Structure 1
Amino acid sequence: MAPHALIGKQAPEISLLDQNGEKVTIQPGSTGTPLAIFFYPASGHSACTKEACGFRDALKTEVFQRSSISIVGISGDAVSKQKEFVDQNGLPYPILSDARHAARKAYHVKKGHMGFTEGRVTYFIDSRGIVKDVTNSISNFKEHIEFVRKRLETEGKGKAKAEPQDSEETTPASSFSDSDMEENST
């Protein structure tokens, strides 16, 4: 399989509504800390809940805390569903509503299970906003948490901030703003 189109490029900026109906703009690289964005099929489904709770629990571990990584979850569910999902599971990070699939398009997230479900894809983005790696496993949700943990150990050795490499050239990816976000708030 060919490498993902975004690897080595600046991660797209995304603007979506969060679980509280507030517009959130994610600007990879703007905080100087790594970022993991995980796209999942649907809030409340068993594997999706386990994945989201896995990231919640991982944030309490030493390697995640040392890195100051930010976690963002994204699905096509409405804001009200995202709110219920966050509240029921005590998620400490934003869960964004991508009902129009604008973020999925910007990040080239394909369907899973032969096109029958939304894909489960996690992006590891370094402290400068560069997509370093991607994992795509619809059925093995645990792989996504382990993928991020391993990338943190490999990339930053758990440091709070990585220094930019002057010799590394980056190509910006497109950004987007879901201008019809009001539709996501139901």
Structure 2
Amino acid sequence: MAPQHPLIDRPAPSFSIPDSNGELFQFPPEKEGRPIRKPIALFFYPESGTYGCTREACHFRDALVENDIYKRSDVLVVGISSDPVEKQNAFVAKHKLSYPVLSDTDHAAHKAYKIGRGMLGLSDARITFVIDRNGIVKGVLNASLSFSGHAKFVAKELEKMQDSDATEARVGQESGTPSLNPSEAEERGELARAAQAVCG
């Protein structure tokens, strides 16, 4: 059995590198100064334009439209390779990729996520990370030869996250008192005062 990746159950490392338009992309992404609260599929791949990497990128593109768990979870997909911005831009345009594709020519993100070399050490490894809504790495797939398995792996991890969230919500409802909205609280207060007046 392969050893567990050291980032499992740890906060996802941050980095800032260019996207396919040359704009600086901050990861994890933020909205109005706060980290976004949605799962993220961060996939590192060897080289834009090669057969396997193209198929992998298109699998993620199609899953965002066709796969129910991708749509329900509102997952953010982000692709990264060491290709320059110009090549990423052409790759995104040619295959109509609907998610950010980043250029990591200096391997800053690769180093942060401990991405080594792939088969025979000839290229970067193909590794996918699934990060939960709290920014914690929950799943890692290191499979350089299985370009078709990464989008499926993300779907399974998203299903597990959804099941876990549902269980936590159910336990919380069973163990705690449901919160009241202001009008309900006021109504209960008036009833309590009326009952006290009658009994007093």
TM-score (norm 1): 0.83
Letter in 1 for 2:17: L
The CA distance in 2 between the partners of 1:21 and 1:73, in whole Å, is 15
Contact 1:12 1:28 in 2 (8 A): no
* 1:158 to 1:58, Cα distance in 2 relative to 1, 3 A: farther
What does residue 46 of structure 1 align with? 51
What is the correspondence of 1:81-160 to structure 2 with a 5 Å cutoff?
A: 81-157=87-163
Letter in 2 for 1:27: P
| Gaps in structure 2 of 5+ consecutive residues | 170-200
The CA distance in 2 between the partners of 1:31 and 1:118, in whole Å, is 28
The CA distance in 1 between the partners of 2:82 and 2:162, in whole Å, is 31
CA radius of gyration, larger in = 2
The CA distance in 1 between the partners of 2:53 and 2:150, in whole Å, is 11
Number of aligned positions between the proteins:
162
**Offset at residue 158 of structure 1 (A):** 10
The CA distance in 1 between the partners of 2:29 and 2:98, in whole Å, is 19
How much identity, in percent, do the aligned residues show? 45
Letter in 2 for 1:100: D
**Offset at residue 65 of structure 1 (A):** 0.6
What does residue 174 of structure 1 align with? none
| Gaps in structure 1 of 5+ consecutive residues | 164-186
The CA distance in 2 between the partners of 1:11 and 1:88, in whole Å, is 30
What does residue 15 of structure 2 align with? 14
What does residue 37 of structure 2 align with? 32
What is the correspondence of 1:49-88 to structure 2 with a 5 Å cutoff?
A: 49-60=54-65, 61-88=67-94
The CA distance in 1 between the partners of 2:78 and 2:95, in whole Å, is 15
Deviation per residue, 1:28-65 (Å, 9 max, x gap): 68211100100000000000000000000000121101
**Offset at residue 143 of structure 1 (A):** 1.0
Could you say which structure has the greater relative contact order, defined with CA pairs below 8 angstroms and 6 or more residues apart?
1
TM-score (norm 2): 0.77
**Offset at residue 114 of structure 1 (A):** 2.2
- SS state at 2:123 partner: coil
Higher helix share: 2
* 1:158 to 1:81, Cα distance in 2 relative to 1, 3 A: farther
**Offset at residue 110 of structure 1 (A):** 0.9
